[in-house]
Amino acid sequence: MTKHTVRTPMPGTFYRKPGPDQPVYKNQGEAVRNGEVIGLVEVMKTYFEVKSDRDGARIHFLVDDAEAVDGDQVIAEIEVS
């Protein structure tokens, strides 16, 4: 098993859900597919989707919802088989 990392394209605020009252895109440990949205990064009031670029058995988020991130920071690790 290898670990693949997902990085944010820009600095800003990372969100794990599409809206404050909505469920998270992905739970800790959930499987993800290539191209699936795993979160949003808000940069100057503009939202960018963060997508997984691999299929994976489990995703582990390293950043909490609504937390500040630097550009290119690792957001999550994906276990790929």
Partner 1 sequence: MPIRSLFVANRGEIALRIIRSARELGIKTILGHSAADAESLPVRLADTAIEIGPGPAAKSYLNAERVVRLASESGADAIHPGYGFLAENADFVDGVERAGLTFVGPSAESIRLMGDKAKAREIAREVGIATVPGSEGTLSGLEEAQALAEKVGYPVMIKAVSGGGGKGIRTVCNPTELAKDLPQAQAEAKAAFGDGGVYLEKVIQGARHLEVQLLGDGFDVIHLHERDCSLQRRRQKIWEEAPATGLPASVMEKLHKTAVELARRVNYRSAGTIEFLYDPDRAEFYFIEMNTRIQVEHPTTELVAGLDLVGEMLRISGGERLRFRQDEIDIRGHAIEVRLNAEDPDRQFLPQPGVIEDVRVPGGLGVRFDSHIFPGYRIPPFYDSLIGKLIVLGDNRSHALDRLQRALHELSITGVKTTAGLFEDLVSSPEVRSGDYHTKWLEPWLAARGR
Q: Which of the stretches 25-33, 54-62, 63-71, 73-81 binds partner 1 when contact is defined by CB under 8 A?
A: 63-71
> Can you give the three-state secondary structure of 8-37, one letter per residue?
CCCCEEEECCCCCCCCCCCCCCCCECCCCE
Q: Among 31, 37, 57, 66, which residue interacts with partner 1 (rule: CB under 8 A)?
A: 66
Alpha carbons 80 and 45: distance in angstroms, whole number: 33
13 lies in the site for partner 1, by CB under 8 A: yes
Q: Total binding residues for partner 1 by CB under 8 A? A: 14
Q: In whole angstroms, how close is the CB of 4 to partner 1 at the nearest point? A: 25
